[in-house]
Amino acid sequence: MNIGIALLAATLSIPPFGDVKVVDEIDCTKSDHRFADWPKGSSRVEKILGKPCRVLDVQSETASYLDWRLGEGKGLKPNAAYVVVIEYPDDKPRAFHVRNYGNNSRRSFYTGASNGDAFEGPIVHHKPESLKIPQSGQYEKWTSLTFLGEKAANRRDLGKDMAEKTGEKPQLDIATDGFEIAISQYKRPWHPNSEGIAVSRIQLCEILDEKAAWAKLNLPPAPLPRRHIFWREEMSDGVMAKDSLCPGNGGIDWIEQKFRAMKIFGQNTYCKDLLEFGHNQHWDCNWKHGQPGGKSWKWMWGCDAYYANLWTKIVPIAADKYGFDILPYYEYGGAAGDPKFALGPQKRAEPLDIDNKPDRKARGANYTHIWWSEGKLRVDITDPDTLDELKYILEGTIVRFKEQVEKGAFLGALMRPRPGHWAISFSDKTRARFAKEENDGKPVSRADIKKDKQLYAKYIAWYGKKRAQFMDEIRKYLEENGVKNAIAILENDDSETGYPLKDGGSMTTDDLAYWKEKLPGKKIVDVNDPSVVGQHRYLQALKTPAGTWGPWEWQHASPACDPEHYNDLKNVWISMPFHALFTVTDPECFSAFSNANGTQTLIRHYDLNEGTFDSEPLLDPSGNPVKNGKGEVEKRPITGYAMADWEHAGRACMIAEINAMANGDPVNLGYLMGSNYTRGFPVPVREFNQNFLALPAVKSTVVKGACSDPEVTLREFDCSKYGVKAKYYALVHTGMKEKSDVKVTIPGAKGEVEFAAYGKTRPVKNGVLSFKTLKPFQLLAIKAK
């Protein structure tokens, strides 16, 4: 009897993962599982909402953490699917930076009106938001999908040399040692209203039937165009290197973990970086060397031989085994190779002022101080040679995969030039092209452009048109070479954090009075200020040239968004960056970023939050400070490399996407991650994804007066031009609280409607669809025949 009870207790059902087996469990009030806190002894146990918790106050001058070891001695299975569960009280504003060393992720969350991203944090211009998200007053669970690697880093990411000095393992063997789980927070100035970390229990659960947890996607039938959801990770793929944390099967195991996660989260498009800051990422750039039309092996330096041909292996796996669409991602700044054969190091794009640039003799006349970006690679997109070189890259990464191209697996290409890679060029040859194409053949000098504001504006507009044409040429090339209905997307925002509001501040909020009192003298912006939408302040910010200083030319290195040049282009988008709520509340902004399809591509940016954790001194096994060759005490960040991708807790994690659906027509939805992609609240994420993808990728109109509640919007998608009589609708609830007895009039609906994501029907009476309840931040795809 006791055995049966134990087995029953060890098996749980966790949506959307289904049945799971509890492999390890931490009672956070106890000091086992190698518990540690920082500052040492700073945490305490107290009762919250009737249950004892481990509590760690926000420290005034240092970051802080709670740390445990999960799965030690539990026989964990590398490459298997697990869920890490953190149980916390949803009672007060709190911020939880979670580093899961089992899959090297840093997906973090914040509750209530706290802020996740560091307020006025270091390195970049952070854009935290504080919203009065209702709190349940109960214990809630953060449930993160975790595919385990073979190894795990130690807590501070110490390499072999330093680990030996401190008596630690440089890497933990996950099967026997388990892995660390660190829950951290910033110091008080960066988390100004957080009530501190509070956790009662942490569980590690193994998913018992992974494929049963895969989301079912009901996509619109042909010939209706389909939507796409994808993500890209910037700093995560190092773990699949030889002798790193997840090198299994030459890196394929780690890549397949992405595919398996996509299946569970309900995403349909695989996006991988093939050029990062211009440098090769895991594809054979010499596939054509020695053949007709092939380039010298020096034209582009390849990546580590261990996974130099990884792309060739994973394309058929993504397309044929998992059935994904594929959207390659390129941070193209010219090929990185021998300048005799590669455009990048030639740096043909030249700034407007070339004589005043610092260190010009050593590094050339650069646009910015980012010497490791455009200081090493950049191209002139008005130069015909640039398109030729890029076509060669597209041939090597897309076109040569004939079988997958013919199957329609490739969507097209996503371009994201980093700072200065596609700078506005003022070279002699570029100005000659401008004179011929836009200035009636009249030559212009740099001096002419600098002194004549109208001429300068004309030149900038010409560049914008050339850039849009360049993107359209990418689409044409792919279509001419078999990519069906090829798309081309330009992600023009080269930052991690995304754009601020025009005349924005250090934070946006829906409780201005609270924050004005909390942080007197700080510039805080009310997200509900009528000027945010009325004056289109986010759209203004997107179209404003980058700020600059001194001799630099950031305004030319990172050209402003110019969506007007894409309005008449089919299947070509300049993407609309989004992050905080203010980025998705203005219908005019969505309209401005529409192309000839009448739709938008949205790409989510996250504050990288680098440099936000303090360092602690390293101690040897005897407790003595570890010193370097200069006699200085060695220090390391308390939880290793510090960064975070923050999200609101609970259903509010989808607040931006839900508002985007209410105010615009996004059909391609991307996420730029700083670390390994996972989500802490997968139920609303998957629910949104299934409904988003069930809708056709066509323009919609708002059905005015259709909904009984002002926070509920109905959008109608007319598919008649595709020969489809059925009409689709998006029902969008942007409210923060559950709504009861909502009535929605579906134009022309008779008898019943279908919830397209699930294939279930519901009767309508006199065209009215009634809901007993609508969840906060909910999207429903509806089909009326």
* Confidence label for 235 from pLDDT (cuts 50, 70 and 90): confident
Residues 56/42, Cβ–Cβ less than 8 Å:
yes
Identify the three-state secondary structure at position 658. helix
Residues 462/456, Cβ–Cβ less than 8 Å:
no
Residue 346 φ/ψ, nearest 5 degrees: -70, -25
What is the C-alpha R_g of the chain? 27
Residue 634 has pLDDT above 80, yes or no: yes
Dihedral angle at the C-alpha atoms of 57, 60, 61, 63, nearest 10 degrees?
30
Q: How many CB atoms lie within 10 A of CB 37?
A: 18
Residues 649/89, Cβ–Cβ less than 8 Å:
no
Identify the three-state secondary structure at position 359. coil
Identify the three-state secondary structure at position 232. strand
Beta strands in 194-322 (DSSP E): 197-199, 201-207, 228-233, 269-276, 279-280
Q: What pLDDT sits at residue 2?
A: 39
Query: Which token pair is 255?
Result: 């890549």
Report the interhelical angle of 453-480 vs 428-438 (nearest 10°): 90
* Confidence label for 125 from pLDDT (cuts 50, 70 and 90): confident
What is the identity of the amino acid at 453?
A: K
Using the structure block, give the residue that is written with the tokens 């519901």.
Answer: 762
* Confidence label for 390 from pLDDT (cuts 50, 70 and 90): very high
Residues 227/669, Cβ–Cβ less than 8 Å:
yes
The DSSP secondary structure of 694-713, one letter per residue, reads HS-SS-EEE-TT-BSSTTEE
More confident residue, 642 or 76: 76
Residues 464/565, Cβ–Cβ less than 8 Å:
yes
Each residue's pLDDT tens digit, 150-172: 999 999 999 999 999 999 999 99
Q: What is the mean pLDDT of residues 467-472?
A: 99
In degrees, rounded to 5, the angle at the alpha carbon of residue 370 between the alpha carbons of residues 333 and 492 is 50
> How far, in Å, CA of 31 to CA of 33, rounded?
7
Q: Is 710 exposed, middle or buried (0-12, 13-18, 19+ CB in 10 A)?
A: exposed
* Confidence label for 303 from pLDDT (cuts 50, 70 and 90): confident
Q: What pLDDT sits at residue 4?
A: 37
> How far, in Å, CA of 731 to CA of 59, rounded?
44
3-state SS track over 184-205: EECCCCCCCCCCCEEECEEEEE
In degrees, rounded to 5, the angle at the alpha carbon of residue 79 between the alpha carbons of residues 76 and 82 is 60
Identify the three-state secondary structure at position 754. strand
279-280 and 269-276 as β-strands: parallel, antiparallel, unpaired? antiparallel
> How far, in Å, CA of 200 to CA of 217, rounded?
36
Query: Which token pair is 715?
Result: 């959008």
The DSSP secondary structure of 571-624, one letter per residue, reads TEEE-EEE-SGGGGS-HHHHHHT--TTS-EEEEE-----TT-S-EEE-B-TTSP
Residue 87 φ/ψ, nearest 5 degrees: -100, 125
> How far, in Å, CA of 692 to CA of 777, rounded?
13
Query: Which token pair is 444?
Result: 């212009």
Q: What pLDDT sits at residue 306?
A: 80
Each residue's pLDDT tens digit, 653-672: 999 999 999 999 999 999 99
Which has the minimum average pLDDT: 405-414, 521-530, 611-620? 611-620
666-673 and 645-648 as β-strands: parallel, antiparallel, unpaired? unpaired
179-185 and 94-100 as β-strands: parallel, antiparallel, unpaired? antiparallel
> How far, in Å, CA of 670 to CA of 491, rounded?
10
Residue 3 has pLDDT above 70, yes or no: no
Length of the chain: 785
In degrees, rounded to 5, the angle at the alpha carbon of residue 340 between the alpha carbons of residues 338 and 344 is 60
206 Cβ partners below 8 Å, 6+ apart?
A: 20, 21, 23, 77, 80, 81, 82
Q: What pLDDT sits at residue 1?
A: 34
Each residue's pLDDT tens digit, 736-764: 999 999 999 999 898 999 999 999 999 99
Query: Which token pair is 122?
Result: 């270091």
| CATH numbers and ranges of domains, the chain | 9-212 (2.60.120.260), 223-500+536-609+646-673 (3.20.20), 700-784 (2.60.40.1180)
3-state helix, strand, coil split of the chain in percent (to 5) is 25, 25, 50
Q: What is the mean pLDDT of residues 75-93?
A: 98
Residues 107/170, Cβ–Cβ less than 8 Å:
no
* Confidence label for 73 from pLDDT (cuts 50, 70 and 90): very high
Q: What is the 8-class DSSP label of residue 765?
A: B
Ramachandran category for residue 533: left, alpha or beta (phi over 0 → left; psi -120 to 50 → alpha): alpha
Residues 298/280, Cβ–Cβ less than 8 Å:
no
Residues 122/610, Cβ–Cβ less than 8 Å:
yes
Identify the three-state secondary structure at position 742. strand
